[in-house]
Amino acid sequence: MIARSGLLGLLGLLCLGACAHVDREREILGSLRFEGNEALSPGDLEPRLALAETPIWPWADRQYFDAGTLVGDRRRLVRYYQAEGFHQAKVRSRVSRTGAAVDVTFLVEEGAPTRIRTLRIDGLPDEVRDRVLEQPLPIREEARIREVDYDAAKGELIQRLRNQGYADATVSGSVGIDAAQNAADVRLLVAPGPPLRFGRVVITGAVQVPRQTILERVREVIPEGRSFSETRMADAQARLFDMGVFGGVRVSRGPTDASTRTVPLIVSVREAPFQTLRAGGGFGVDKERVEGRAIAQYTNRNFLGGLRTLRFDNRLGYAFVGEGAIQLNPTEQGVVGSSALDLLQPELFRHVDGNFRLEYEHGLESAYLFDSVRGRVGFPVRLHRSLVFTTSYNLQFFALQPFTETGGSTSTYSCVDERGNCVLSFLEERLTWDRRDNPLETTSGWLASIALQQGGGFLGGRASYNRVLGEARYFLPLPRAMVLALKLEGGAILPASGEVSPIMERFYAGGGSSLRAFGTRRLAPQKLREGRSLGPDGQVVENGTLRPLQTSDAVPVGGDTLLDASAELRFPIAGDLGLAAFVDAGNVGHTLQDSNVFSPNVAVGLGLRYRTPFGPIRLDAGYRVLTVLPRLVAPDETLTTVAVPETPFSLHFSIGEAF
């Protein structure tokens, strides 16, 4: 009874708070509606109004009706329709009163749209006209004349001319409206000015970084005397920022020197601290893996001079793995962690950097625990500000042990099973083209990458194979701050004749970033755990007892082929809170001959996002609507017809977008 009284009291306070904002002498505005609008939606029209609906929740401030404001809103709507190419549009209004509330309906007569009858572009220099007009402009003949497109066309022409050397180009224009014919005659007048070239470079803000080093980086992209181009200025700015020693970089133009027809470059830099120490943490939760970790990183961006970057990364955490992980009562659990030293030597050779990395890791997977020591010597080459090619040699040692009560011997050398020692020696070539606007929270752009590996053979090691993995992502901005995100990923491993692919290089799916209806790595060919064997009719024999196969009886050991696709619609709700609706599809095949990879699992789901400075905190729920369950692999590495049962639903809680 006391709890109920307290609740009633709280509701009363809320009501009093709401009532405190009510002006009894004014009429409350209830709803705003539109009738007759076809080309433009209510979502397009509502932001143009000064009147606003009263929110439905009781504690919100009331919105009031005002006849003068209504008259102004009708004019604003007519003006907006004209800007959108409807010059015959008319807007009336209907006001109805229900109790103490006023409902307003705007009655729209859009009329016929005004379309571009002629489009003239005068003043373009003949020598660049074809290049400037090679791609279509935002306006074209027969299209509806919109003011935003007209302004965009002028801006696009200026941008294209400046990238052809006309740094001082301007564009003006006029639009003649023939109301009787619903037609518009558009003329754009170009004043290109003389073609200009880049001149001297003025550098400001450099203290510890040598100005000559900055100048050399700029001249790699913009040689003195090169034709002016704003695109090249952006490339030079990106090249300087990628040095990793600046907190801010701006490359801008100075005033034109008419006597030499050159434009000076102004390079303004703000140096970042050369030595930084960062600490933080992270977590990941789904039904197959729960992990929390602490992270520490030390960076020296001028190690022993020469702008060498030395980074020391450390991660320490605890993981719960397997069935029951989300209840913290898993099949396996233990400490996980890694330490890595990474040295980047800029300009080891001309336009080629050197990267040297040594890493130790202790980790837990569903099938095994492992210790590894990995070394890499790489040579990244920046072909473009967003295109990087890296070739590297990698030498890796793994000590793997299956999860058993008695432990397992690791004295044998094997890269196939979840038991033994494995040495991998391989070359890798990786090409990445990244045109995303923001790697943490991408709203537009795309990314494409492909990686090739050649292992064993003359390189030594315990496994000989070839591996390829390609990925493409595309991000399309939509109205109302929505984003459509797409991903396609595929890969294959080709072991040498008579060999089996190494278990740590195989493909897996499932988890927070792929096929979100499965737990981490659960979508992959699987093996029975130690102490279990396959009996008749797909049942399991354990301690001499025959029983049905359960999810916890098998562990994923990966496959040689992967095909994975995702589509996700991300949209804001309020403030930093957002939602995502997604569809995932894909599968993992046992070998190249396994056609199962082309029979996808399909999952649908919803996710909650909360934006933070270090990326969105994400909660996703996925449900399978089309199922092709992973199958068991026999001890002789052949694929059986026995499917491993998996629940159709999974939750994932982590930091960062799925892709």
Last residue of a domain, one of 211, 240, 271: 271
User: What's phi and psi for 230, nearest 5 deg?
Assistant: -70, -30
As a whole number of angstroms, the distance between CA 40 and CA 233 comes to 39
Of 219, 254, 271, the position where a domain reaches its end is: 271
Q: What is the pLDDT of residues 566-588, one digit of tens each?
A: 999 999 998 899 999 999 999 99
How would you label 13-40 residue by residue, b for 16+ Cβ within 10 Å and e otherwise? eeeeeeeeeeeeeebebbebebeebeeb
Whether residue 610 sits in one domain with residue 576: yes
CATH number of the domain enclosing 40: 3.10.20.310
Q: Would residue 366 be called left, alpha or beta, if left means φ above 0 and alpha means ψ between -120 and 50 degrees?
A: alpha
Q: Is the same domain home to 145 and 61?
A: no
CA distance 262 to 451: 43
Q: Does residue 541 share a domain with residue 631?
A: yes
Same domain, residue pair 466 and 562: yes
State both tokens at 119: 């489009």
In a domain, 3, yes or no: no
Please tell me whether residues 174 and 64 are part of one structural domain: no
Are 440 and 531 contained in the same domain? yes
Domain boundary among the residues 271, 301, 327 is at 271
Pair type for strands 482-495 and 561-574: antiparallel
Would the CA dihedral through 431, 435, 439, 444 be positive or negative?
negative
Name the DSSP class of 400. Answer: E
Residues in the chain: 659
603-632 tens-digit pLDDT: 999 999 999 887 899 999 999 999 999 999
Using CA atoms, how far residue 495 sits from 401, 453, 456, in Å, is 23, 11, 10
Amino acid found at 311: R
468 and 452 within one domain: yes
> What CATH number is associated with residue 618?
2.40.160.50
Within a domain: residue 238? yes
Alpha-carbon gap, residue 232 to 241, rounded angstroms:
14
Strand partners, 528: 554
Closest alpha carbon to 650 in 285, 328, 283: 285
Give the C-alpha separation, 603 to 517, whole Å.
Answer: 6
Chain centroid to CA 108: 41
Q: In what order do the strands lie in the sheet with 101-109?
A: 28-35, 101-109, 90-98
Mean pLDDT of 176-188: 95
pLDDT above 90 coverage of the chain, percent: 72
Q: Are residues 49 and 153 in the same domain?
A: no
In a domain, 7, yes or no: no
Q: Are residues 518 and 418 in the same domain?
A: yes
Assess whether 255 and 326 both reside in one domain. no
Residue with tokens 């003389």: 194
Partners of 486 in the β-ladder: 474, 567
The yes-or-no verdict on residue 417 having pLDDT over 50 is: yes
pLDDT digits (tens, 9 = 90+) for 127-163: 999 999 999 999 999 999 999 999 999 999 999 999 9
3-state secondary structure of 219: helix
- Whether 470 is covered by a domain: the verdict is yes
pLDDT at 8 over 80: no
Please indicate, yes or no, whether residues 170 and 227 belong to a single structural domain of this protein.
no
Q: Using an 8 Å Cβ cutoff, are 653 and 618 in contact?
A: yes
388 with 479, same domain: the answer is yes
Q: Which residues have CB under 8 Å from 471's CB, separation 6+?
A: 447, 448, 449, 450, 487, 488, 489, 490
- For residue 126, being part of any structural domain is answered with yes
Domain ranges, residue 176: 115-191
Q: Please write the tens of the pLDDT for every residue from 66-118.
A: 999 999 999 999 999 999 999 999 999 999 988 778 999 999 999 999 999 99
Q: Is the pLDDT of residue 19 over 60?
A: no
- Number of separate domains in the chain: 4
- Alpha carbons 282 and 337: distance in angstroms, whole number: 13
With respect to residue 127, please indicate whether it lies within any of the assigned structural domains.
yes
Residue 10 lies in a domain: no
pLDDT confidence of 407, banded at 50, 70, 90? very low
What does the pLDDT read at residue 351? 81
CA-closest candidate to residue 119, choices 138, 103, 100:
138
* 189: helix, strand or coil: strand
The answer to whether residue 317 is domain-embedded is yes
